[in-house]
Amino acid sequence: MKKAYIFPGQGAQFPGMGKESYEGNPQARQLMEQANEILGFRLTDYMFEGSADDLRATRVTQPAIFLHSVVLALCTPLPAPDMTAGHSLGEFSALVAAGALTFEDGLRLVSLRAQAMQQCCEMQPGAMAAIINLPDEVIESVCAGIPGVVPANYNSPGQVVISGAEEAVDEACAQLKAAGAKRALKLAVSGAFHSPLMEPAREQLARAIEATPFQAPRCPVYQNVTALPATDPAEIQANLLKQLTSPVRWTQSVRNMLADGATRFVELGPGTVLQGLVKRIATASAETLIIEGIQ
């Protein structure tokens, strides 16, 4: 049985996240207090006592989800994974869990990523929309014909998120509805994540990634940009450099993990979104899979 540990991205946060680990696990408490020191503010206060609105602030959201996920991966008595992957932000958690990044370096990169993305959203507002029940090729074809919009997240068969300038996203939604999409739902986000509009944030983050040491992971990490397993530190670093302006190929990543023998998927972190996506992606083999989560 091959175990795949998977890590959620932005949007999985909830008030009170991580409090149980902090109160019941001394090792988790130590890591969380270390995170507060590194960040220069008490992230745990937002996690444990903040409202849903408090947790939506990008500078809080991304480090909070990363910290919650990594604490579970490092402080829970679990067997070692055979492979890891994370959705967008979750890729940083996956790299720490696999030993390619230290906890401290991962947290610093995630904090910088959050700040850079927030600044980018303020400079260049954008939009994202979920397209439901339409083949990937149709979505790709429509986006190719509209400057300023691209596929951003391949979440599962029949669920792709597009991203870009607001007018371009609106036009794409109209065309995709006409092409037969069941729904084209604008998302409550302030920026065009995983699109070329994130280039200023990518450049800012790239300098930090290039200055950060990466090690060979203890197991393959399936990266968003390629959906393929990576074990070479230079390859991992290069793929991470491209992540902010490239699509998240989650459907393809899970299919490749299944093809490489994954039979147990464990979502580590807040929420259950990835468990649902894996079930939809793995319909042919779902009866033989174990899909579970630890929050």
The residues annotated as belonging to the active site are 88, 194
The first and second tokens of residue 184, run together, are 């084209």
CA 152 from chain centre, in angstroms, equals 12
- List helix spans (H) across the chain: 19-24, 26-39, 43-49, 52-56, 58-75, 90-97, 103-123, 136-144, 166-178, 199-210, 233-242, 250-259, 273-281
The answer to whether 58 touches 117, Cβ cutoff 8 Å, is yes
Write the CA distances from 102 to 57, 108, 265, integer angstroms. Answer: 25, 10, 23
What b/e string do you get for 257-280 counting C-beta neighbours within 10 Å, with b at 16 or more? bbeeebbbbbbbbbbebbbebbee
Closest to 170 in 3D by CA, of 190, 148, 189, 152: 148
Backbone angles phi, psi at 122, to 5 degrees: -70, -35
d(Cα 277, Cα 270) in Å, to the nearest integer?
Answer: 15
Pair type for strands 290-294 and 262-268: parallel
CA 90 from chain centre, in angstroms, equals 4
